[in-house]
Structure 1
Amino acid sequence: MKKLLLFDFDDVDVHRLISSGAGLNETFRTLHPDPAAFSADEDKWITQYRQVYTAHGQPLIKSYPGAKEILEHLKASNIAVAIISNKGVSAVKTALENNGLFDCLPAEFIIGDNTPGAMRKPHPGSFEDVLVPLLIARGVQVEPKDVLVVGDTVADLKFAGNIGCRACWCRYGYGDKKECQDLKPAFTVDSLVEIKAIIMDQ
């Protein structure tokens, strides 16, 4: 018989972990009332979570309004777009497919926590060691000053700072508002549609 464990989490703690870009391992270990017990069955916890997430979480994911419009605009304008996520690549690809966005960027430009060489944001490794070589291989020369990181969390904004580029903070997302504001992003938007004007002005 399978057992279901129920824990009472503090919403503030959960929100803080999401905003920080913490991975599943760190999140579960932090929230579990007995971290040692979690560590003993870490792989089982992660596997079970991913199964539940695929079955019940993915169908609930909806893209923000304007996502398709901005991605199609960038593609038509021949502006390189990449997704660097702390989630697994398969989860990101499934979410894109379910929302009709998968064809808006090259699949190889979707970088996640199981991509060889990738590092969790805000570490710059996923950009410097994975994305930049992929772009160069396609004949695209990239300088940090020409890059705009669009994100909603502290991890995203610190990631932008660590690679030396500008950040656009989406304040409607999961990020802690005060922490994100204190990082002084170059741009702040309340919808994805606003990003189009930022890009056209550059």
Structure 2
Amino acid sequence: MKLVLFDCDGTLVDSAGLIHETMRRTFVQFSKPEPDVADTKAIIGLTLDIAIARMQGKEHADEEAVAMMAYYKSLFSIVRQDLDFREPLFPGIRALIEEIGPREDLLIGAVTGKSRRGLNLVMETHGFDRYFVVGRTADDCPSKPHPAMVTECCDETGMKPADTLVIGDAVYDMQMAKAAGAKAIGVSWGYASVDELHRAGADAVVHHPREILAHIG
């Protein structure tokens, strides 16, 4: 039995456009310079208040970052209603989840910097809620790369970190996995480079969802 934990943004769904547009409008509302897309992609995966602080060169979230986070959350669903800012699955993800979802030797979960509401929306939109049995979000745990998202999923399912794979596109995912004692599998179709994933501790980097099957076994 293995536990397979997927990051969401940049791994399952391509949400960069949606996140960046919401972030851009948030920064404008608070009279901040509009961020570049690259700046937004660099923080995807972090808890939102910390992400906003990092985009302004701050190490920790202050009161302004918390206020900006609240505004971002209030705006997110409005931006998402625009057809140009949906969160489509990356090619090959649906086939992978539908293949491994029914397997009796696997448990599947999510570890994401999204809110619980955001994760539930993705799961329901794409019909994955019947396969994902566990999940931790920014509402539940400290921000990545803290290992709590992984260790709490392990505790809930009765699995050991050594029998757990964390699959993600960000350096924070790799660092979180290694801190928890889990195997870290990077994906190249997300928002970090292959070199960045390796430097962050990835045990392997895959270039198509089907390649994940070889690491699951």
> For residue 170 of structure 2, what is the aligned residue in structure 1?
153
Answer yes or no: is 1:198 the counterpart of 2:182.
no
Q: 1:175 to 1:104 in 2, by over 3 A?
A: same
> For residue 121 of structure 1, what is the aligned residue in structure 2?
144
CA distances 1:88-145 after superposition (whole Å, capped 9, x unpaired): 1110110121222222222xx1210112xx22221112222x2122113xxxxx2222
Return the offset for 1:17.
Answer: 2.3
Matches within 5 A, 1:31-42: 31-32=55-56, 39-42=62-65
SS at match of 1:15: helix
Structure 1 contact 16–176 (Cα < 8 Å) conserved? no
Runs of 5+ consecutive residues of structure 1 not aligned to the other structure: 137-141
CA distance in 1, matches of 2:95, 2:173: 22
Runs of 5+ consecutive residues of structure 2 not aligned to the other structure: 1-27
Q: TM-score, length-normalised on structure 1? A: 0.77
The two structures, once aligned, show a CA RMSD in angstroms of: 2.5
Between Structure 1 and Structure 2, the one with more strand by share is 2
> For residue 179 of structure 1, what is the aligned residue in structure 2?
196
Q: How many pairs are equivalent?
A: 183
Return the offset for 1:197.
Answer: 3.1
Aligned with 1:84 (options 111, 115, 119): 111
Q: 1:50 to 1:62 in 2, by over 3 A?
A: same
Amino acid of the residue matched to residue 45 of structure 1?
M
Answer yes or no: is 1:72 the counterpart of 2:98.
yes
Structure 2 contact 43–55 (Cα < 8 Å) conserved? no
SS at match of 2:205: strand
Structure 2 contact 150–176 (Cα < 8 Å) conserved? no
Q: 1:187 to 1:178 in 2, by over 3 A?
A: closer
CA distances 1:161-180 after superposition (whole Å, capped 9, x unpaired): 11122111101101143321
Q: 1:103 to 1:7 in 2, by over 3 A?
A: same
CA distance in 2, matches of 1:16, 1:42: 17
Q: 1:156 to 1:193 in 2, by over 3 A?
A: same
Aligned-residue sequence identity (percent) comes to: 20
Between Structure 1 and Structure 2, the one with more helix by share is 1
Q: 1:65 to 1:132 in 2, by over 3 A?
A: same
CA distance in 1, matches of 2:55, 2:161: 36
> For residue 155 of structure 2, what is the aligned residue in structure 1?
133
Structure 2 contact 136–149 (Cα < 8 Å) conserved? yes
> For residue 126 of structure 2, what is the aligned residue in structure 1?
99
User: Greater relative contact order: 1 or 2 (C-alpha under 8 angstroms, separation 6 or more)?
Assistant: 2
CA distance in 1, matches of 2:98, 2:204: 21
